[in-house]
Amino acid sequence: MSAEHELYLKRLKRQAALKRAAQIILLALLLGAWEGAVRLGMADAFIVSSPARVVRTIASLYSSHDLFPHIFATFLETVAGFVSGTAIGVAAAVLLWFCPFAERVLDPYLVVLNALPKIALGPILIVWVGAGASAIIVMALLVSTVVTVMTVLAGFIETDPAKLKLMATLGANRLQTFMKVVLPGSVPTLMSALKISVGMSWVGVIVGEYLVSKRGLGYLIVYGGQVFKLDLVMASIVILCALAAIMYYAVAWLEKAIDKRFGRG
């Protein structure tokens, strides 16, 4: 390794460390400002809660053995909706790429489905699959699937036309073109679709829990709002943020592993 390259790597590590430190400092400042505003009487603790009250609420849930059942219920429903929605969405995008005529026919329907507020389908889903975890998972699946289809399909379609023409010149069939050019070139799009799908899955699960669940973080948020326990609402939101960040960074780690495996990182 040359001295210049070693210096470059050290500079990258230093920049990464500075970015992480800045993120931690910013979070600490925000939490400090939130707590300080409440303690100084600039904000009503009953309305906005505070970091200290949130911590006490989480500790209370833990001591009453209610914390992890609610976390596991929401997390498992989200993972199930995310995995199934992503798998179905990617498979549908692949099929539509192999059949351009079907893609052109279904494109306006996908746009309408993507724009449709999925919460409007909640009462129908409850009748179809029952008022339980299955309805929540299906809601998460619906929210994430359409977005995944549109994102991945757009990546497939935007493949460099020159590369496609070269493959046709070499006599490659559509499957060979897909496996050798389209799919490898769409890996960044697939990773972006996974990151989007993570957020959409959380949205779908929380919406579903608003409607039918008797456990989970969405249920705690609704219950806390109904009985004016806003500390419980804020604590549930904080836990949701932490879980969503964990899933997002898991996908980001997978993206880095793929980049390293294929020499793009």
User: Over the stretch 82-118, which tens digit does the pLDDT of each residue have?
Assistant: 999 999 999 999 999 999 899 899 989 988 888 888 7
Q: What is the pLDDT of residue 254?
A: 84
Does residue 111 form part of some domain?
yes
What is d(CA 74, CA 209) in angstroms, rounded to the nearest whole number? 8
Tell me what the mean pLDDT of segment 8-21 comes to: 87
* pLDDT exceeds cutoff 90 at 54: yes
Does residue 203 form part of some domain?
yes
Indicate the average pLDDT of the chain.
87
Which pair of tokens denotes residue 93? 């995008």
Q: 197, 245, 248, 242: which is closest to 217 by C-alpha? A: 242
Instruction: Give the global pTM.
Output: 0.82
* pLDDT exceeds cutoff 60 at 122: yes
Tell me what the mean pLDDT of segment 221-239 comes to: 91
Does residue 47 form part of some domain?
no
Residue 164's SS3 state is helix
Does residue 21 form part of some domain?
no
Where b means 16+ CB within 10 Å and e means fewer, 93-114 reads: bbebbeeeeebeebeeebeebe
Q: What is the pLDDT of residue 263?
A: 54
Q: Which amino acid is at 33?
A: A
Q: What is the pLDDT of residue 30?
A: 94
* pLDDT exceeds cutoff 90 at 25: yes
Residues 6+ apart with CB under 8 A from 5: none
* pLDDT exceeds cutoff 70 at 264: no
What is d(CA 180, CA 150) in angstroms, rounded to the nearest whole number? 22
Does residue 107 form part of some domain?
yes
Tell me what the mean pLDDT of segment 205-214 comes to: 85
Does residue 93 form part of some domain?
yes
Does residue 239 form part of some domain?
yes
Does residue 163 form part of some domain?
yes
Residue 169's SS3 state is helix
Report how many domains make up the chain. 1
Give the pLDDT band of residue 134 (cuts 50, 70, 90). confident
For residue 235, the domain's CATH number is 1.10.3720.10
Q: What is the pLDDT of residue 124?
A: 83
* pLDDT exceeds cutoff 90 at 251: no
Quick one: how far is CA 105 from the chain centroid?
29
What is d(CA 33, CA 39) in angstroms, rounded to the nearest whole number? 10
For 179, which DSSP code?
A: I
Range of the domain at 225: 64-261
